[in-house]
Amino acid sequence: MACRVAARDVDLHLSVPAGRRLAIVGPNGAGKSTALSLLAGHLRPDSGEVRLDGRVVGSPRTHLPAHRRRVVALEQRPGLLPHLSAVDNVAYGPRARGVGRRAALDRARTELEAVGCGDLADRRPHELSGGQAQRVALARALAVDPELVLLDEPLAALDVEVAPAVRRLLADRLTGRAVVLVTHDPLDLWALADDVVVVASGRVAQSGTVEEVLARPASDFAARLAGVSLVEGIVDDDDDLRTPGGDLVSGVRTSAAAGWRPGARAVATVDPRAVAVHTDPAPTGSTQAPTSAPAPTSPTQPSAHAPATSPRNSWPARVVSLVPAGALTRVTAELRDGQRVDAEITSRSVAELALAPGSPVILVVKAAQVALYPRR
């Protein structure tokens, strides 16, 4: 798909090889829903085209409507027809495509068995739990043997106890199929996707395998998905990264030297678990040592070649927010240029340091725990 929709300021280029599963991620309003609408046939592009198995199904001149495309969608809500039983809901698709009633019901029962709902065939949607209804919706989607499956946050409405089982089922039943998935959950990326596209402002900002994008996030959104902080700057004459605010970031380069040169744009990723939080140093002449909250764990180093003894980065910052999470608290602090870095410290340390929004702090992290790479 290479399409432009002027009214939404969207210009996207996406490709899903047969048997691959592509995730589309990005902030709200980035163009994810527009991409699904173009693929499903609900939206006509102003320029470009949508191809399905080599055939043009969408362009300014050619538009195959949704019901004539072999494309199915599974959304947050199952969308089952309330007046039909589970088996009749699943059989509806084959019947609409001209399959005889007996053959359609046989296919429906086979698909229900495959998703663990064979014993629910005669139940109406209001008699099903959320997880059961989503399983039936998956059976309905696959009963028509689609060429492309669209998943629009299919687990978002499920209870946390139910979602993992449905996620495993999706991973199993969608193996070998072409899939496009929209999600905000990193668990979905690891379990359901092979490749990922990060969209921002209607454009593709980054693409690659899930492992590549999460290991080297090129945007704040991708960094949050990966659970790390992203700090941008330029390479200085000493081969370190210098932020717009003047902070120096030393770290381990995780890629070849190509593109890493003085003056080039660069990024650093920082694991929140590796960041220690200190209060402002004591005034000059004071004998009082600054108090600190060390990082609670030791995350895996970004490179096996990191030095045994690592220099430390030290960045003045100001606390923006504190979010408790059990025994730990995620502290978000703003550097002098407005970039934000997260730290995970114990909730006890937060109390001992009397941290609050607006508190001045010093963020300290070993260079061995910072990954550096050129900005593409």
pLDDT in tens, 17-33: 999 999 999 999 999 99
- Residue 286 in this model has a pLDDT that exceeds 70: no
Share of the chain above pLDDT 70, in %: 90
**Are 56 and 97 in the same domain?**
yes
Give me the pLDDT at residue 325, please: 83
Q: DSSP letter at 59? A: S
Nearest 5°: the CA angle 121, 124, 128 is 85
Separation of alpha carbons 146 and 302, rounded Å: 41
**Are 191 and 62 in the same domain?**
yes
Q: Which of 187, 218, 227, 212 is nearest to 200 (CA)?
A: 218
How sure is the predictor about 373, in pLDDT bands with cuts at 50, 70 and 90?
confident
Counting the structural domains of the chain, the total is 2
Other Cβ atoms less than 10 A from the Cβ of 113: the count is: 13
Flag whether 45 is in a domain: yes
Share of the chain above pLDDT 90, in %: 71
- Residue 364 in this model has a pLDDT that exceeds 90: yes
Contact between 350 and 296 under an 8 Å Cβ cutoff? The reply is no
**200 Cβ contact list (under 8 Å, min separation 6):** 26, 27, 30, 219, 221
**Are 198 and 281 in the same domain?**
no
Mean pLDDT for the stretch of residues 150-165: 89
**115 Cβ contact list (under 8 Å, min separation 6):** 135, 136, 138, 139, 169, 173
Flag whether 150 is in a domain: yes
**Which residue matches tokens 């102003």?**
46
- Residue 333 in this model has a pLDDT that exceeds 50: yes
Nearest 5°: the CA angle 330, 355, 229 is 30
Give me the pLDDT at residue 36, please: 96
**Are 189 and 244 in the same domain?**
no
Separation of alpha carbons 10 and 265, rounded Å: 26
How sure is the predictor about 254, in pLDDT bands with cuts at 50, 70 and 90?
low
Strands of the sheet with 276-279, listed across from one edge: 292-293, 276-279, 360-366, 312-325, 328-335, 340-346
Q: Give me the amino acid identity at 33.
A: S
**Are 181 and 236 in the same domain?**
no
Flag whether 222 is in a domain: no
Q: Whole domain around residue 302: which residue ranges?
A: 228-374
Q: Give me the amino acid identity at 119.
A: D
**66 Cβ contact list (under 8 Å, min separation 6):** 40, 41, 42
pTM of the model: 0.75
Backbone torsion region of residue 254, taken as left when φ is above 0, otherwise alpha when ψ lies between -120 and 50, otherwise beta: alpha
Strands of the sheet with 195-200, listed across from one edge: 71-74, 148-152, 179-182, 21-25, 195-200, 203-209
**Are 236 and 211 in the same domain?**
no
Flag whether 169 is in a domain: yes
- Residue 356 in this model has a pLDDT that exceeds 50: yes
Contact between 323 and 306 under an 8 Å Cβ cutoff? The reply is no
- Residue 282 in this model has a pLDDT that exceeds 60: no
Contact between 290 and 282 under an 8 Å Cβ cutoff? The reply is yes
Flag whether 220 is in a domain: no
How sure is the predictor about 96, in pLDDT bands with cuts at 50, 70 and 90?
very high
**Average model confidence (pLDDT) across the chain:** 89
Give me the pLDDT at residue 239, please: 86
| Of 286 and 198, more confident | 198
| Of 106 and 217, more confident | 106
- Residue 374 in this model has a pLDDT that exceeds 90: no
**Are 124 and 236 in the same domain?**
no
- Residue 42 in this model has a pLDDT that exceeds 90: yes
What are the phi and psi torsion angles at 286 (to 5°)? Answer: -80, 145
**Are 156 and 240 in the same domain?**
no
Give me the pLDDT at residue 302, please: 37
Flag whether 86 is in a domain: yes
Among 215, 249, 275, give the residue marking a domain's end: 215
**Are 199 and 286 in the same domain?**
no
- Residue 284 in this model has a pLDDT that exceeds 70: no
Q: For residue range 183-233, what is the model confidence (pLDDT) as tens digits?
A: 988 888 888 999 999 999 999 999 999 988 988 888 888 888 888 899 999
Q: Which of 222, 213, 201 is nearest to 11 (CA)?
A: 201
Q: For residue range 303-332, what is the model confidence (pLDDT) as tens digits?
A: 333 334 457 899 999 999 999 988 899 999
- Residue 49 in this model has a pLDDT that exceeds 70: yes
Give me the pLDDT at residue 211, please: 85
Give me the pLDDT at residue 255, please: 54
**Are 128 and 67 in the same domain?**
yes
Residues in the chain: 376
- CATH, residue 259: 2.40.50.100
Token pair for 206: 């980054």
User: Of the given ranges (115-119, 188-192, 283-287, 338-342), which has the lowest mean pLDDT?
Assistant: 283-287
- CATH, residue 115: 3.40.50.300
Among 164, 187, 215, give the residue marking a domain's end: 215
**Are 171 and 66 in the same domain?**
yes
| Of 310 and 106, more confident | 106
Among 155, 187, 215, give the residue marking a domain's end: 215
Give me the pLDDT at residue 141, please: 96
**Are 183 and 268 in the same domain?**
no
- Residue 287 in this model has a pLDDT that exceeds 50: no
Mean pLDDT for the stretch of residues 128-134: 95
Flag whether 41 is in a domain: yes
| Of 294 and 301, more confident | 294
